[in-house]
Amino acid sequence: MGSAVGRRYQINSLQRGLSLLNLFAGAGTTLDFARIAELSNLPPSTLHRFLVNLQSAGYLSCDEAGDYRLGVSCVLLGQAAIGALDIRLASRPYLQELNRRTRETVHLTVPNGTSAVYVDKIDSPEPLRIHSRIGSSVPLHCTAVGKVLLAYLPPTEQSSILERLELKRFTVHSVGSLQELQAELRRVRKKGYACDLEEHEPHIRCIAAPVWDHTGAVHGSLSITGPAVRMTIARIRELAPLIQEAGRAISQELGFRRTAEARCSGIRPPKAAQK
């Protein structure tokens, strides 16, 4: 029924105009009339009318050489869309689904200097569960959420933060040296997720995955946390695809697309995160 309603209200000319704009979004550059005609399969006379209308409305601009590019109106719309994106709003349904499927506490964090801050959470329904609160900060070097945020930083930013970190050993499992931490961050990038195996708090284990934004940068991290008696190594491995899938879905909600690349040289989002 929904598809039938969609077809009834579909305006073919509007769909064609939007398709033309999408050609430029994919190309990320200028296109001349011949190339647009080739990509759109529209007759020259029809295409000319569309281009004139899009240009007059500011959605396309055309230079003296006859090359078209996205216009100011597209920029304004893009800025408005980016401003409307809220990582908490985009993440909430996925937090709820993770909580339902795992019955463990789930967190959403964002970076704040040399710490990670909880900006949202859903508690485990189990009697035995961890205690945390929105707004609290956790260290980067010995938490799964923190290691994810560190691992995908551009090299210069990562080096700057590593220099300022106090590698405090919270438990016997905490990393104790910069070399050990750097090796762990390389493993995080290779696997696509991070673990905290009682490194921040005894008897607490966690797995986290990155959330990419529209620029291709890691905007936050998503985690599943529980007591070590339930979060066995085997279960953590089972949870890895689940939390990575949620991170990819949230990333797409935030505007991550194939054309966005990680700002960190040599580091790209996992292929499965690309749409």
Residue 179 has pLDDT above 60, yes or no: yes
pLDDT value of residue 132: 84
pLDDT value of residue 7: 58
**Residues with Cβ < 8 Å from 55, sequence gap 6 or more?**
61, 62, 68, 71
Asked if residues 121 and 134 have their Cβ atoms less than 8 Å apart, the reply is yes
Domains of the chain: 2-83 (1.10.10.10), 85-273 (3.30.450.40)
Model confidence at 81, in pLDDT bands (50, 70, 90)? low
pLDDT value of residue 53: 92
Over residues 152-161, mean pLDDT: 92
Asked if residues 165 and 147 have their Cβ atoms less than 8 Å apart, the reply is no
Q: How far is CA 73 from the centre of its chain?
A: 26
Q: Return d(Cα 121, Cα 136) in angstroms, integer.
A: 11
pLDDT in tens, 245-275: 999 999 998 888 744 444 433 334 444 444 3
Quote the percentage of the chain above a pLDDT of 70.
85
Residue 188 has pLDDT above 70, yes or no: yes
Residue 164, token pair as written in the block: 């300022």
